[in-house]
């Protein structure tokens, strides 16, 4: 009987364990891959492509999202829409539909809206474009929820740079019709 070197036995055993582990893990689930992430003060530009599905997305979040957290943890998100951009405010506090939200830039009430569904207020079209122009010139943003006596404060320092990076990445990461 010939002796089998221990190194060979361990190698075959390791390969067998690896094969069983791969089989037990099942099919690999496709996840989005962040291909661009950059923060500009309170603002983050996130652009990704789901390589397996071919889906793409690009948006600005404030405050910057934390990876591996629950989705939609941002207070404000700016993303492309069918015509221009969409700005969505997330109250994150269990507000009901119709709850008033006020955006205050540099101490001056700039925009008001009501939640269109639980926890969200959306602006798009000309009003969203005008908001971006005001944000670029401002220094501070307060998202006020008067009915809840709550507000979220963000610095607008860095917003213009974030928006420029967002625009530069749109063609690469956002599908166009």
Q: What is the mean pLDDT of the chain?
A: 76
**Cα separation of 106 and 109, whole Å?**
8
More confident residue, 122 or 19: 122
More confident residue, 7 or 113: 113
- Give the HSE-up count for residue 101: Cα atoms under 13 Å, Cβ half-sphere: 29
- Quick one: what percent of the chain has pLDDT higher than 90? 32
CATH domain 33-173 topology: Immunoglobulin-like (2.60.40)
- Assess whether pLDDT exceeds 70 at residue 156: yes
* pLDDT given for residue 93 in this prediction: 56
3-state secondary structure 5-53: CHHHHHHHHHHHHHHHHHHHHCCCCCCCEEEEEEEECCEEEEEEEECCC
More confident residue, 100 or 44: 44
Domain boundaries, the chain: 33-173
Q: State phi, psi for 26 to the nearest 5 degrees.
A: 80, -170
**Cα separation of 160 and 60, whole Å?**
11
30-76 residue pLDDT tens? 555 668 889 999 999 998 887 667 778 899 999 876 655 554 456 89
């Amino acid at each position: 009987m010939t002796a089998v070197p221990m190194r060979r036995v361990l190698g075959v055993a390791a390969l067998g364990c690896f094969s069983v582990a791969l089989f037990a893990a099942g099919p690999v689930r496709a996840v989005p891959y962040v291909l661009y992430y950059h923060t500009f003060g309170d603002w983050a530009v996130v652009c990704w492509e789901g390589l397996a599905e071919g889906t793409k997305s690009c948006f600005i979040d404030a405050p910057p999202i934390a990876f591996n957290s629950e989705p939609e943890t941002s207070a404000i998100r700016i993303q492309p829409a069918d015509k221009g951009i969409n700005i969505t405010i997330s109250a994150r506090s269990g507000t009901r539909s119709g709850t008033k939200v006020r955006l205050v830039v540099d101490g001056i009430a700039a925009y008001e809206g009501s939640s269109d569904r639980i926890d969200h207020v959306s602006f798009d079209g000309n009003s969203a474009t005008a908001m971006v122009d005001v944000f670029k010139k401002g220094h501070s943003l307060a998202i006020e929820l008067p009915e809840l006596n709550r507000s979220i404060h963000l610095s607008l320092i860095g917003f213009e740079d974030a928006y420029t990076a967002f625009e530069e990445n749109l063609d690469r990461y956002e599908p166009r019709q």
